[in-house]
Amino acid sequence: MSAARTILFRTFIIALAVWVGAGIFSSISDNLAWYSDPVGWVQKAKPRAGAINPWPILTAIVALLTLVSLAFFAFGAGPGRREALFALVATVLVLAATGLYFVPRLILIFFKTDLLTDAQIIAASRAWILWNWVRIVYVLGVLYYALAAAAKMRRPTELSS
């Protein structure tokens, strides 16, 4: 296994860990208040002047590293390759779910509130929060599997030191 492929995969793991860690922090700090009063939370939610939303940047970094790593692992052999491919494909799936469900629902809930009744805001918010926690647990599983793959990629000389 090439050193470049191993380094790229380890970089992917770091980005994935940052992504899920930020998701856990954000969910713990926001979701309880949002879940308890969805309508009030949505009405008070306003972007801070000059603030940059980090989620598109973090997600783009994870997506880029996932796709590049997937290209590197698509061919060839080596220890941990199968596990790495599993983790990478699983990450593609969660990124697809993020783009197809989570982002559009957030846009609907927070930026198109005039289209929703209070009951719809409550239902959509609570569903989003619950599915978000499912996504976090899923990504933690993917991260664990990616770490297991990285452990298999270590050379025997690295294991003895």
Per-domain boundaries in the chain = 3-45+56-156
Q: What is the maximum alpha-carbon separation in the chain?
A: 62
Mapping DSSP to helix (H, G, I), strand (E, B) and coil, where does residue 51 land? Answer: coil
Specify the pTM: 0.87
Residue 64 has pLDDT above 80, yes or no: yes
Higher pLDDT, 124 or 50: 124
Task: Kindly report, residue by residue over 109-159, the tens digit of the pLDDT.
Answer: 998 878 899 999 999 999 999 999 999 999 999 999 999 999 988 765 555
Task: Kindly report, residue by residue over 67-119, the tens digit of the pLDDT.
Answer: 999 998 988 788 888 999 999 999 999 999 999 999 999 999 998 878 899 99
Beta strands in the chain (DSSP E): none
